[in-house]
Structure 1
């Protein structure tokens, strides 16, 4: 395969990934954040094209990958300025229509964005920091995550962001369960944090 074709395919994949809450690779995206310590967050090393740094233009150049994800998931400000970003198990892809940069997800870490809902949700696989919108905005929730071996990984009070999500930095390569409680209701689901697993969970209907 020629290098020019590689570039075309790579650009096409990036468009699908950044278009909104996306489906797994090779599947057209469906229409359609941050807990844990930033300790262990790797430097935001970017694979950037020519021109000014995309991260610098949005004031993110001195932040690690975890901090960048948390900052973008928590507000609509950057999406309103034209920045798109999506999270896969391996990397964070950022673009503004002219430039694209990628940040590696820190080794041993996995970002799971969770949008509990009561009546309305959407399909999602790779979480879009700039496109996904959940139903419950600025809503107090209690989130607990327990690994298959019984270790409690998360047990805390959170408030959903303006996009209706809470984001969790979890260990990579585990299986477990997540429970979200809000408004006197709750929902539980199985989760996994492997290389082929979703970074977006939108099936937690509170009952």
Structure 2
């Protein structure tokens, strides 16, 4: 009986140590890429705006529930905020790509460093975004929207205008690459 209790105790200690090691691995990956202590929103915004993550070999994918980061040697998962959905939008004129889960290091839009007037409203008419934004090095602009809504995105520049319907439910894309400016 005593050896069974010791065996169970040892297994519990190993399990607890393994869980602590996972957190350390997450901390190590974030620290190695200058992201230690950053919230999920801050990580997404930092990685989406530059090519530094690509050059450092860090890949990131945004879904409804989580952001998965992988640098080739380790992987970590950051939970998305319970009430926020990240929608990455790549307006374009001649070239686009198919995308579902936005890749913070892999997606490349056509129009880099350009200014766009953006208006995002939900189906009730509430305006969520009404701003001028500049596209990132990857040709995208990103917006934190409420989860589980539908609405309309209008984006325009001197190149033209696009109007797109969107939804922020679990089964919806975090990457919108269909906004062709005409």
Q: Same fold (TM over 0.5)?
A: yes
Which one of the candidate residues 94, 111, 118 is aligned to 1:143?
118
State the secondary structure of the residue aligned to 2:132: strand
**Alignment of structure 1 residues 152-191 onto 2, 5 Å:** 152-191=127-166
CA contact (8 A) 2:93 2:159 kept: no
Using the alignment, how far apart are the partners of 1:142 and 1:103 within structure 2? 31
Which one of the candidate residues 103, 110, 113 is aligned to 2:78?
103
Using the alignment, how far apart are the partners of 2:50 and 2:116 within structure 1? 18
1:121 aligns with 2:96: yes
CA contact (8 A) 1:48 1:100 kept: no
Q: TM-score, normalised by structure 2?
A: 0.86
Gaps of at least 5 residues in structure 2 are: 1-20
Name the larger-Rg structure: 2
CA contact (8 A) 1:147 1:177 kept: yes
CA contact (8 A) 1:48 1:102 kept: no
Using the alignment, how far apart are the partners of 1:70 and 1:50 within structure 2? 23
1:93 aligns with 2:68: yes
CA contact (8 A) 1:111 1:169 kept: yes
Whichever structure has more helix as a proportion of its residues is 2
Gaps of at least 5 residues in structure 1 are: 1-46
Report how many aligned residue pairs link the two structures: 161
Using the alignment, how far apart are the partners of 2:158 and 2:30 within structure 1? 38
1:194 aligns with 2:169: yes
